[in-house]
């Protein structure tokens, strides 16, 4: 009996200490910001202002320094759960989200097409409402952007785009954090996209100008980005006084650039187009020879997985390549997204220069 009573008292003390710890980290020292993203969806960076995107990067930098560099324990998502819907397989999106959410004290729940078929066994409306009653947020990696839009419309919890055929916003956040860490700033940098006019490029088009970054794009004829997205990007370019340039010549796009970026030429679902695409993208491989067209401080990004025809080994494994830092930053940026959408946490460390 004495042993049981002692155990109960010890358990109560631990619960009290844990509660105090969580409260301490949730409050913290207030910061000078008017940005509040709690309860928002993240479907595309088009829906976020320049200051809101910068705030996400600031939060990511803050969490990375406090947790990784200083070894602090921040259970900011304790008691919260995340539904992860994956229609498409993934390494970085799954691991970064699962490990990041768990590191912050939350519980991620991974759902494949074996577990959930969006709009097949159950309507998207019903799925959104059920998940809203069981979890605190949804990260969905899907084919159709319209599925995400409908989930967001019907759900009462934040919906995060883990990738769609139209956009890949969480990848771009990691790219920008990586560039900020390397250069110490983003404003004035020139990014050159050499490759397919795909979802990753679309997300850059929706956000680069908001940081004052210039964008030069080379795509083969017939593989240009969506004209509607280009139109919005042109408006951003005028608003923020940045350069937006399109060409079919990779060397022309690489001229004077700070950052060379490419991605897979054949995305999931495009396997039948492999022969056609491989032929169309001849001359688009990133090489040191192409790098000679760029600025002296040029670097290279790729969201991975990478094929040698997209970028050769000499560039990919060189000091100019930031791809592995970029991959790690997928974790810190998705953690920042979840913390920002689900809590009242504000960054405690000094805001980086953007």
Q: What is the rounded CA–CA span in Å between residue 339 and residue 61?
A: 13
Contact between residue 232 and residue 46 where contact means Cβ atoms under 8 Å apart: yes
Measured between alpha carbons, how far apart are the two ends of the chain, in Å?
Answer: 61
In order of 55, 205, 344, 353, the CA distances from 31 in angstroms are: 11, 30, 12, 16
DSSP string, 300-318: EEE-S---TTTB-HHHHTS
- Residues with Cβ within 8 Å of 255's Cβ and at least 6 positions away in sequence, in order, are 216, 293, 294
In order of 93, 235, 303, the CA distances from 330 in angstroms are: 7, 28, 9
Active site residues: 263, 303
Edge-to-edge, what's the strand order for the sheet holding 159-163? 107-111, 81-86, 137-141, 159-163
Q: What is the rounded CA–CA span in Å between residue 13 and residue 239?
A: 56
Task: Identify the helix (H) or strand (E) that includes residue 163.
Answer: strand 159-163
């Amino acid at each position: 009996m004495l042993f049981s009573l002692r155990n109960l008292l010890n358990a109560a003390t631990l619960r009290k200490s844990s509660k105090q710890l969580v409260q301490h980290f949730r409050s913290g020292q207030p910061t000078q910001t008017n940005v509040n993203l709690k309860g928002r969806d993240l479907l595309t960076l088009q829906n976020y202002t320049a200051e809101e995107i910068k705030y996400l990067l600031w939060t990511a930098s803050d969490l990375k320094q406090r947790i990784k560099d200083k070894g602090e324990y921040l259970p900011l998502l304790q008691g919260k759960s995340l539904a992860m819907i994956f229609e498409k397989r993934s390494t970085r999106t799954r691991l970064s989200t699962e490990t990041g959410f768990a590191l912050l004290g939350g519980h991620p729940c991974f759902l494949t097409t074996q577990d959930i078929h969006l709009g097949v066994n159950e309507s998207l409306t019903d799925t959104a409402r059920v998940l809203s009653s069981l979890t605190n947020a949804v990260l969905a990696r899907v084919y159709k952007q319209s599925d995400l839009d409908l989930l967001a419309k019907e759900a009462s919890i934040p919906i995060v785009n883990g990738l769609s055929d139209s956009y890949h916003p969480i990848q771009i956040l990691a790219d920008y954090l990586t560039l900020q860490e390397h250069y110490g700033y983003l404003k004035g940098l020139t990014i050159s996209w050499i490759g397919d006019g795909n979802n990753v490029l679309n997300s850059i088009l929706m956000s680069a100008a908001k940081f004052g970054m210039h964008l030069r794009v080379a795509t083969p004829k017939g593989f240009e980005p969506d004209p509607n997205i280009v139109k919005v990007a042109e408006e951003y370019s005028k608003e923020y006084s940045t350069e937006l340039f399109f060409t079919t010549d990779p060397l022309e796009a690489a001229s004077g650039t700070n950052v060379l970026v490419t991605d897979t030429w054949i995305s999931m679902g495009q396997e039948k187009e492999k022969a056609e695409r491989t032929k169309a993208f001849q001359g688009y491989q990133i090489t040191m020879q192409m790098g000679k067209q760029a600025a002296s401080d040029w670097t290279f990004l790729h969201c991975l997985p990478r094929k040698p025809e997209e970028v050769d080994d000499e560039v990919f494994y060189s000091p100019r390549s930031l791809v592995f830092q970029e991959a790690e930053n997928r974790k810190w940026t998705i953690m920042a997204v979840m913390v920002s959408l689900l809590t009242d946490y504000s960054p405690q460390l000094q805001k980086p220069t953007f």
